[in-house]
């Protein structure tokens, strides 16, 4: 898969991960792209370790599942680090 294909995969995987997770996540399209690309890398790495397959082809369902799963994990970690920014009034 080429570099632009990987960026497109990351952007779409990040957007789908934001749609899957409940609540409102911050960040615009650039944050979505970064989270998606990092998630795709993480998903490909985990897929290589556990299943012996990584991100091989753009139009492969396994590639998309790994990328979206990785993006969900990265988005959850990002939410824990950044926080929701909500204050509780006493």
pLDDT tens digits, 52-71? 877 778 888 888 998 999 99
Q: Report whether pLDDT(90) > 60.
A: no
> Which band of pLDDT confidence, cut at 50, 70 and 90, is reported for residue 87?
low
- What's the CA gap between 64 and 10, in Å, rounded? 9
> DSSP characters for 29-65?
HHHHHHHHHHHHHHHHHHHHHHTS--S--TT-HHHHH
> Which band of pLDDT confidence, cut at 50, 70 and 90, is reported for residue 6?
confident
pTM summary value? 0.80
């Amino acid at each position: 898969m080429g570099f632009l294909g990987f960026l497109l995969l990351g952007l779409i995987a990040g957007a789908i991960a934001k749609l899957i997770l409940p609540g409102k996540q911050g960040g615009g399209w650039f944050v979505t792209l970064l989270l998606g690309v990092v998630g795709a890398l993480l998903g490909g790495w985990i897929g290589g370790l556990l299943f012996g397959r990584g991100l091989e082809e753009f139009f492969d369902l396994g590639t998309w599942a790994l990328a979206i799963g990785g993006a969900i994990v990265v988005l959850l970690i990002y939410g824990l680090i950044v926080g929701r920014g909500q204050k509780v009034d006493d």
